[in-house]
Amino acid sequence: MSVTATQKRGLGSAIWDYLTTVDHKKIAHLYLAGGGLFFILGGIEALLIRIQLMKPENDFVSAGLYNEIITMHGTTMIFLAAMPLLLGLMNAAMPLQIGARDVAFPFLNSLGFWLFMLGGILLNCSWFMGGAPDAGWTAYAPLSTTSPGHGVDFYILGLQIAGAGTLMGGINFLVTIINMRAPGMTYMRMPLFTWTTFITSILILFAFPALTIGLFLLMFERLFGAAFFDVSLGGNAIIWQHLFWIFGHPEVYILILPCFGVFSDVFSTFSRKRLFGYTAMVFSTIVIAFLGFMVWAHHMFTVGLGPVANTIFSVATMAIAVPTGVKIFNWLATLWGGRITVNSAMLWSLAFIPSFTIGGMTGVMVATVAADYQYHDTYFVIAHFHYVIVGGTVFGIFAGLHYWWPKMFGRILNEALGKTAFWLFFIGFHLTFFIQHFLGLMGMPRRYWVFLEDQGLDTGNLISSIGAFFMAAGVIIFFINIIYTAAKGEKVSGDPYDGRTLEWSIASPPPHYNFKQLPLVRGLDPLWIEKMEGNGKMTPAEPLGDIHMPNNSFIPFMISFGLFIAGFGFIYHNDNMIGTIAMFGGMAIALLSMLTRSVKDDLGYHISKEELEKEAE
Amino acid sequence: MKGWMGKLKVFSLLGFLALALAGCGKENLTALVPKGYGAHTSMKLIILTTIIMTFVFLVVMIVYVIVLLRFRAKKGQEDYIPKQVEGHIGLETVWTIIPIILLIIIAVPTTIATFKLADDSDAKDHINVEVTGNQFWWHFNYDDEKVQTSQDLYIPTGKKVYLHMKSSDVIHSFWVPAIAGKMDVNAENTNTMYLKADEEGVYWGKCAEFCGDSHSLMDFKVIAVSPDKYEKWVKDMKSFDPDQKPETAAAQEGKDLFKEKNCMGCHAIGSSPIQTAPNLTDFGNRSKLAGVKEPTKENIMQWIQDPESMKPGNKMTGKYPAVSKDEAEKLAEYLMQLKPSDVTPESVSE
């Protein structure tokens, strides 16, 4: 309904609607669109890398530009593509799964998105303003502190702003899940995707502050003359590595845990079975998240921390394989004895199992510290984390998009195109990355702009580059699928898959208030329970009444825009007067917008009972 | 559906391709043909973990294939509702305990190996070399022997050589895959590791920590020679007289130019504490120019005239007056005849 309504109102008002919306479903669209855009950018950067490494001593791009490309590929894919796409899926599905009408803080939700988006745009402006950051996505000091130009400054300010948005998103989801579950939706009845959203939000809450601190130190060092990382002035560069990885390792779980939730829901739905070992699945997620904070130094095995620290972190890292293994086997047991339907969502999920298992295996291998002295900072590590992040996160995002697309837009993605995209991407993925394990051990360190002739690395790199083009073709077909579906896609009912959880109990796309009456939840897979007992739909937990809804607001955009301007100001304030003006002006816009929000009462509005009754007809 | 079997084929084909086409890589570079103590230690663990992990992968894949063959929805099953199983304590315990046991099997040798590799209690009984990482070259100072060199590190076979490593700028990482795993080279502390090579050879070393524009060109060599040859090399290096007259006139002119153009402000020849730029004492014996290029006269001349074209971001560009082609040729002549020892990379490689 909402989609057709906006179309009728014309493009201008549709844009205004999206600029001001606080509806979690529309914010999900924004996250998916923003994340999708950056995913394409990151993908183009990946292709440029693979073209450069297609043959030995290639001169397709210069050394400096290559370093900018690899830095932006990593930064974009992690912060601006994978995370927002996941936040998009969480926004789209989680409130529906717990039977809520929106998230706890709709205003904050909008603010989180616009901070991410404008932070991402700020970072990418660097391409046109003297060069992108070139110190790697990990920005190790002192390379990052001494990098000339403003590239790294864009990295610092862009990520600082985008990171603040993510932190808000995490807090928002936490409060939502704690406070806004429908009657009867106890913690141990929540769908796995909601559980993983919950635990991911905890990880965001505790991991992002470490990044924030690190970025602040880096900012003060580069822009305000501090010397936290400058050894010659008594600083310590290795502190940066600790701060970065105390954030960075939980970040890996922030990326993968939501996808574990997607797969759990998809496997359960399409094998028509309850998730096997639900309790174990929940607790293994918690254990993974907890251990995720205890293992950051495995990124630093070669730093010289000494054998005691190295082995402790090595063993702690290996321990993560246990709960992860439990998950893999529980998924297999969920499928076992089921009635498995293989559609696109299921294809991505099924492909995840072997791909991610390989990523997990190499995970244990790189955790083996004395062997990691060989793997570390080589293409073996590149292969390992792409197996985890592509084979886990990207597969999970595609599975989630296919799975929830009909819920989000009322139309189901085309199956033929979906499967073609999958096979191209899947084959391309293994072609690209499997061989890289060997390249690493054969002596190819990561972040190499060129590799030399006659070092036995030519064939492997060529195969890898060919695979990248298969992946690109798969992604292009997926985007064609989106356009095709928007134009001619098959319309579906609210429950196209014989679903099990609450989101399938309402229309597709859902009305903007989601649930006319909050549902009464009587167990795990609440909709399935009602179906099995012959009710077919949820029993309401409340009589039909007025629904309180939040008002749209332009303030989140203004706050973010103010910080965006201030970002440029911070970067250029040492160079010229305009920079200083932008710094103070931008902060003024942001703070005045916040003040407006604080002093202006916004009580929202009510959808009356009569309107709801009329809509039902 | 046919796709699933196809996928398995793709898998095995990929693995086969990877091994068959690429082999194990170039000898004396690849970590897969270990020729030193550290590399052997790592390789043993690589093999152990690969075997265990392959076993785990096979178990997962067997279950996976059975699931996909047996439980796909068949025609006429549209209304079939499978049994809703909650879980199985026994099974879940099994797939928790077995991985723990497997991990213990890995963790114990890992711990032992890690402590062995980190043990430097006997360093003073062995050869000690101070290693300095610089953008984008390596300096080696044999402090006890009073010998300095850059880019080519000479070590005796079968003996431990301790490296005490520090960076002069950003973080680098010292990696000779065929002999030992890598260790970071930081600015704030000295990291110690040791090399112990099995046999004579010229081994490729690489910088493994992203360090700027020419990170990928920061190669060096470890030249492992028999202990006798090593002793001779040290003696030759020590007795080298930087003031001795070159044989040809062109080289003599080059030697004068070296002084005139103030090359010696940064580059030392002979034993010297100067390490602003690579020590050139045995330049004529180096296996590569600037770590990666063939040391031909043309390349050396190009380097002298325009180092930026060969190693972007290097610290030599713009630090010296312009050099004409003729002058570059004379400088190259001089540098190429700097051969203090007949223990050279060529003498061990073929």
SS (H, E, C) A207-234: HHHHHHHHHHHHHHHHHCCCCCCCHHHC
B30 neighbourhood in chain A, CB within 8 Å: 441-443, 456
Domain boundaries, chain B: 31-118, 123-350
Residue A9 has pLDDT above 80, yes or no: no
One domain for residues A460 and A568: no
Write down the pLDDT at residue B20.
52
Percent of chain B having pLDDT more than 90? 83
One domain for residues A541 and A565: no
Residue B15 has pLDDT above 70, yes or no: no
Write down the pLDDT at residue B1.
42
Percentage helix, strand, coil, to 5, in chain A?
Answer: 70, 0, 25
Find the Cα–Cα–Cα–Cα dihedral A418, A422, A424, A426, rounded to 10°. Answer: 180
Write down the pLDDT at residue A3.
45
One domain for residues A581 and A488: no
Chain B residue with minimum CA distance to A435: B18
One domain for residues A351 and A383: yes
Residue A448 has pLDDT above 80, yes or no: yes
Distance CA A291, CA A319 (A): 8
One domain for residues A535 and A581: no
One domain for residues A515 and A589: no
In this prediction, residues B157-163 reach a mean pLDDT of: 96
Residue A197 CB partners (closer than 8 Å, separation 6+): A90, A94, A173, A177, A258, A261
Quick check: B206 and A443 CB within 8 A? Answer: yes
Indicate the residue of B26, B38, B95 with minimum beta-carbon distance to A326: B95
Which residues 6-25 of A are in CB contact (within 8 Å) with B?
none
Taking the Cβ of residue A280 and every Cβ of chain B, the question of whether any pair is shorter than 8 Å is answered with yes
Quick check: A427 and B10 CB within 8 A? Answer: yes
Residue A615 has pLDDT above 80, yes or no: no
A442 neighbourhood in chain B, CB within 8 Å: 22, 24-26, 29-32, 177
One domain for residues A531 and A508: yes
CA A608: distance to chain centroid? 37
One domain for residues A439 and A565: no
Pairing verdict, β B220-225 and B152-156: parallel
Quick check: B96 and A326 CB within 8 A? Answer: yes
One domain for residues A283 and A396: yes
Give the pLDDT band (50/70/90) at residue A5. Answer: very low
Average pLDDT, chain A: 95
One domain for residues A444 and A577: no
Q: Are A55 and A134 in contact (CB under 8 A)?
A: no
One CATH from 3.40.190.80, 1.25.40.10, 3.40.50.1970, 1.10.287.90 for B31-118 = 1.10.287.90
Token reading at B281: 């004492």
**ipTM for the assembly:** 0.92
Indicate the residue of A63, A276, A426 with minimum beta-carbon distance to B313: A63
Please name the residue ranges forming H helices in B26-88: 37-70
Q: Any idea what the CATH number is for the domain that residue A420 is in?
A: 1.20.210.10
CB pairs under 8 A between A and B: 313
Distance CA A487, CA A483 (A): 6
Distance CA A337, CA B68 (A): 10
Write down the pLDDT at residue A341.
94
Percent of chain A having pLDDT more than 70? 98
In this prediction, residues A120-129 reach a mean pLDDT of: 96
- Domain range holding A334? 2-553+602-616
| Residue-wise pLDDT tens digits, B255-306 | 999 999 999 999 999 989 999 999 999 999 999 999 999 999 999 999 999 9
Please give the residue that has the higher pLDDT: either B76 or B298. Answer: B298
Distance CA A547, CA A611 (A): 10
Residue B53 has pLDDT above 50, yes or no: yes
How many domains is chain A built from?
2
Taking the Cβ of residue A326 and every Cβ of chain B, the question of whether any pair is shorter than 8 Å is answered with yes
Give the pLDDT band (50/70/90) at residue B349. Answer: low
Quick check: A339 and B77 CB within 8 A? Answer: yes
Give the pLDDT band (50/70/90) at residue B348. Answer: confident
Q: Report CA Rg, chain B.
A: 27
B111 neighbourhood in chain A, CB within 8 Å: 311, 314-315
How close, in Å, is residue A70 to chain B by CA atoms?
Answer: 11
B169 neighbourhood in chain A, CB within 8 Å: 142, 146
Query: Is the CATH number 3.30.70.20 carried by domain B123-350?
Result: no
Percent of chain A having pLDDT more than 90? 94
Which among A374, A472, A407 has a CA at the least distance from the CA of A51? Answer: A472
